[in-house]
Structure 1
Amino acid sequence: MSTPTPHATAERPHPAAVLRRRWPTALAAAVVALNLIGSGSQDVADAVGGFGETLPLLPLIYLIVHQIGSPRATWPVLGAGLVAVFALPLQGAVAPSTVLVALALAVLVWGAVRGTPHGRAVFGVQAVGALVFCGLAPAGLAVDPDLGRYLVAAGWFCHGVWDFVHLWLDRVVARTFAEWCGVVDVLVAVQLLFLV
């Protein structure tokens, strides 16, 4: 006896249709799963170091896309940011988080001097978010790794909430990115708290 295959009804859409709509969530889960498999049995200090060095990239993407004024730029900005995150450790002179925080501060100055496409209020919210998330990264890296994991995890989790608020408001970044990033951020926080 064969089991019935799922099919679409008025109340329940076809699984393929759900996957097409929720591809950012599926991609995020796959990325985090691959990272978890690739990192193996990572110790706390390594996990805090890696995720702490990367954390400032999250608000930096929002700041840059906000200043560009086009959500279409989100995915290319993410691509450039990922190249930077993987290339920065190769130079060995300055911590990647320091470079990312400095870039975020430069974009904040750029917005304060030049003005912003979405207005001062939205820029102010982005600035506060950048300061909080960029502050949690060095704080988490500067303290004992056992405490640092909570600070860095808080930064990733809170940025996930930030993403979902932006998804709901449909402002600043592309909706697909906000969904993808929100899922990645929350799963990374869970990984830091429970799986490392």
Structure 2
Amino acid sequence: MTGDKLLRRWPAALGVLVAAGTVLGVEHGGQIASVVAASGFVYLAAAAIGRPGAAWPAFGVTFVLIGLSLRTGFDAVLWVCVAAAALAVIGLLRAGVRPVWSLPLQSAAMVVLGAAALLAVRADPVIAGVIVSVALFAHAAWDVWHHRTGRVVARSLAEFCCVLDVLVGVGVLVVTLTL
């Protein structure tokens, strides 16, 4: 692989690094259910604002919230869901900025992913691990579709997120199967 091709894969490389940092030290899937909520939030943010590049700053916000939750007990899942609801309202107020299908589709995905994350936080560790893994694998498919179509988020974010979702999903599944 030439240096230029390798350089173009920076989102995948970043996904590997973030996934490794996310999974290391995890004892059960419920501990990182916030990653599931964050995956929906990032797409919803881009749809609500009407700019694909808005997904990266939204990821930054979730990265900080998840970091706080892992170190302080802060409930990142709840706050990501609250922020997502606020973004959906902002998106509704900005009607016409985006394609008509974008915000409703991303809002529906956020509801499903937010519900899965909220359920996983409160579930038995084995059930939580399965919920988190399945949700992340499903979101990875969502990432692939968005990457291929170039819709909603920047392609770099979709690539990064797909790698992150798959690796964290596999990591959580391995941890869950060894409980």
Q: TM-score, normalising length from structure 2?
A: 0.86
Q: Is the 8 A contact 2:12 2:163 kept in 1?
A: yes
Partner of 1:43, secondary structure, is coil
Q: Per chain length, whose mean CA-contact separation is higher, i.e. which structure has more relative contact order (CA < 8 Å, sep 6+)?
A: 2
Aligned pair partner of 2:13 in 21, 26, 32 = 26
Partner of 2:40, secondary structure, is helix
Aligned pair partner of 1:73 in 32, 40, 54 = 54
Partner of 1:173, secondary structure, is coil
Deviations 1:52-86 (A, max 9, x none): 13321111111112122222222222222212332
Q: TM-score, normalising length from structure 1?
A: 0.79
Distance 1:178 1:143, change over 3 A: same
The answer to which of 148-157 and 14-23 deviates more is 14-23
Distance 1:43 1:112, change over 3 A: same
Gaps of 5+ in 1: 1-13
Distance 2:161 2:77 in 1: 18
Partner of 1:151, secondary structure, is helix
Larger radius of gyration: 1
Aligned pair partner of 1:184 in 155, 164, 169 = 164
Pair 1:82-2:41 in alignment: no
Aligned pair partner of 2:36 in 55, 72, 78 = 55
How far has the Cα of 1:16 moved from its partner? Answer: 1.9
Which residue of 2 is the match for residue 151 of structure 1? Answer: 131
Distance 1:164 1:54, change over 3 A: same
Which residue of 2 is the match for residue 64 of structure 1? Answer: 45
Count residues in correspondence. 176
Partner of 1:191, secondary structure, is helix
Distance 1:83 1:127 in 2: 22
Distance 1:35 1:102 in 2: 22
- Equivalent residue runs for 1:37-56 within 5 Å: 38-39=24-25, 42-44=26-28, 48-56=29-37
Distance 1:84 1:147, change over 3 A: closer
- Equivalent residue runs for 1:122-141 within 5 Å: 122-141=102-121
User: Residue type matched to 2:125 in 1?
Assistant: P
Gaps of 5+ in 2: none
Aligned pair partner of 1:120 in 100, 115, 134 = 100
Deviations 1:150-169 (A, max 9, x none): 11111111111111111011
Distance 1:77 1:53 in 2: 14
Q: Is the 8 A contact 1:116 1:123 kept in 2?
A: no
Partner of 1:171, secondary structure, is coil
Distance 1:116 1:136 in 2: 30
Deviations 1:92-120 (A, max 9, x none): 5x621111111112222332344252232
Distance 1:59 1:15 in 2: 34
User: Residue type matched to 2:35 in 1?
Assistant: T
Distance 2:21 2:90 in 1: 36
Q: Identity over the aligned pairs, expressed in percent?
A: 30
Distance 2:172 2:95 in 1: 37
